[in-house]
Amino acid sequence: MLKNILYLHQQHYSAVVEVKDSIIKKMNLTESNTELTSNIVNNTALFSTYIEKDLAKANADFGIGGYNEHRTVYSRSTVFDDATEPRRLHLGIDIWGKVDTPVFSPLAGTIHSYAFNKEYGDYGATIIVQHILDGYTFYTLYGHLALKNLSNLSEGMSIEAGQQIGNFGNELENGHWPPHLHFQIIENLDSKKGDYPGVCKYSEREIYLQNCPNPDIILQLINKAV
């Protein structure tokens, strides 16, 4: 139901990240990318350098990808550990770029909640916006933002379509990741505030993908990537 509503409004979303005529590179963070070794993944500085160089090789300003992608990179943090099965399946889309890149709301809504999820490997500064479209309530999550973006926010604050709500954070405020935005659509938040899993167990894949449809319905950037 939500996916159908989102598709009906595809011509009316504002850009979440303004790419203009920039080159966008498709990124691969799965185990099939043999260049991305464990030594790189487990060292934030080396990981950031790897992303920068990978984009530079393609003369790209932004990298994109990750929805429904099984990623071994999450082994870098105990945040994704579980006694029976670690969480490895990515539920959002990542847009990689420079620190302080502006982030905008694609449509009107209200601030649902926000938090500084500061554990190593977590979201860092995070904002969740509630939207109502054709009478249907859903949420968008923005992870790995700058800590300054959480200042002067309040739950219930109105947000306009196209309004800037954040910036890509640096490694010390974004959960110790190379600078990027994690953008995710969520149908049911399950009473969570300031946080919602962006990565799930593979065994729970169908449940979470149903609740978190492909964010490119809003972003419309994957087909522009090379």
Sketch the domain layout of the chain as residue ranges: 2-224
The Cα 51–Cα 31 span in angstroms is: 16
The pLDDT score that the predictor gives to residue 78 is: 95
Q: What is the C-alpha R_g of the chain?
A: 16
Answer for the pair 18, 219: CB distance below 8 angstroms, yes or no: no
> The whole model's pTM is what?
0.97
Phi/psi at 113 (nearest 5 deg)? -170, 170
pLDDT of residue 206: 97
Report whether CATH 2.70.70.10 matches the domain 2-224.
yes
Residues 6+ apart with CB under 8 A from 189: 112, 128, 139, 196
Give, in degrees to the nearest 5, the angle at Cα 14 between 186 and 192: 20
Judge residue 115's burial from the number of C-beta atoms within 10 Å of its C-beta, 0-12 exposed, 13-18 middle, 19 or more buried: middle
Q: Shortest CA distance to 172 belongs to which of 144, 143, 141?
A: 144
The confidence score (pLDDT) of residue 208 equals 98
**pLDDT score at 1:** 85
pLDDT one digit per residue (tens) for the chain, 226 residues:
899 999 999 999 999 999 999 999 999 999 999 999 999 999 999 999 999 999 999 999 999 999 999 998 999 999 999 989 999 999 999 999 999 999 999 999 999 999 999 999 999 999 999 999 999 999 999 999 999 999 999 999 999 999 999 999 999 999 999 999 999 999 999 999 999 999 999 999 999 999 999 999 999 999 999 9
Integer Cα distance of 19 and 6 in angstroms: 21
Distance CA 39, CA 47 (A): 9
| Per-residue confidence (pLDDT) for residue 192, from 0 to 100 | 97
